[in-house]
């Protein structure tokens, strides 16, 4: 990939693939890149991830190319706030207050997409559900909010390789991103988010234990959800 020069508000020329601090001063160029269909790398509250506009078929395809991942493997989405989830997935059947107790945090909730979802059909084709994240990380949430869409989000690594807790862990993939944002060493110990399936009303199923299993399970049971077999 060519090292295209881009300008930011400071007037400094920045090369595509450059590593920048994950601070609010660099949010605007991140939002611009996402809106332009580019892929960026960002820290979350668990791992580093590749993110792009979830409603851009070209950008989503690019993420699969970067990771060397089969397009049959679904991607999750990230939104800025719990109140945004209903734009992309069905929440009506959930106990009142459940999502506000689970999120923001290191949890991916799998919900039914429904016919009203504004997600492109090309995202996870053939699936009627979608994994949704609201990370406890202001940087990525500000980008999602500014994009006006949802971000497709997946771990920043080659498919099948260890997850990344620092930007150095995926240094060989920097050039494939418009920008790489450095939030330092993440403390998750390479454990991703806890993934919980909430598509069956009144029940939950843990699809991946992740880094918040006990807390997540406690919240689910406090809301009287039964563990699905």
d(CA 212, CA 206) in angstroms, rounded, equals 11
- Min mean pLDDT across 35-39, 41-45, 186-190 is at 186-190
The H or E element containing residue 60 is helix 57-67
201-220, pLDDT tens digit by residue?
A: 999 999 999 999 999 999 99
Strands 76-78, 151-155: pairing is antiparallel
Helix axis angle, 138-147 relative to 27-35, nearest 10°?
Answer: 40
Extents of the domains making up the chain: 5-227
Alpha-carbon Rg for the chain in angstroms? 17
Q: How many CB atoms are closer than 10 A to CB 180? A: 24
pLDDT class of 18 with cuts at 50, 70, 90: confident
pLDDT class of 15 with cuts at 50, 70, 90: low
CATH number of 5-227: 3.90.870.10
Is pLDDT of 3 > 60? no
CB 52 within 8 Å of CB 59: yes
b/e burial code for range 110-135 (CB count within 10 A of at least 16 → b) = bbbbbeebebeeebbeeeebbbbbbb
pLDDT, average across residues 50-66: 95
- 90 or 69, which is more confident? 90
Residues 6+ apart with CB under 8 A from 111: 85, 89, 90, 91, 129, 130, 132, 198, 199
Dihedral sign for Cα atoms in the order 152, 157, 159, 163: negative
């Amino acid at each position: 990939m060519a090292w295209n020069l881009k300008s930011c508000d400071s007037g400094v020329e920045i090369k595509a693939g450059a590593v920048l601090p994950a601070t609010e001063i660099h949010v605007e160029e991140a939002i611009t890149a996402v809106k332009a269909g580019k892929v960026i790398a960002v820290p979350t509250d668990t791992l580093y991830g590749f993110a792009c506009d979830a409603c851009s078929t070209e950008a989503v395809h690019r993420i699969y190319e970067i990771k060397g991942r089969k397009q049959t493997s679904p991607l999750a989405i990230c939104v800025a706030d719990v109140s945004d989830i209903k734009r992309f997935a069905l929440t009506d059947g959930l106990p009142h207050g459940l999502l506000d107790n689970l999120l923001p945090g290191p949890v991916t909730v799998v919900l039914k997409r429904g016919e009203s979802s504004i997600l492109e059909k090309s995202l996870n084709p053939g699936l009627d559900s979608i994994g949704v994240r609201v990370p406890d990380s202001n940087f990525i949430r500000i980008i999602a909010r500014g994009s006006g869409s949802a971000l497709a989000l997946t771990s920043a690594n080659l498919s099948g390789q260890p997850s990344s807790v620092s930007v150095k862990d995926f240094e060989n993939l920097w050039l494939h991103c418009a920008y790489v944002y450095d939030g330092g060493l993440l403390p998750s110990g390479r454990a991703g988010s806890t993934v919980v399936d909430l598509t069956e009303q009144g029940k939950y199923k843990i699809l991946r234990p992740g880094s918040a299993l006990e807390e997540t399970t406690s919240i689910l049971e406090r809301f009287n959800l039964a563990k699905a077999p």
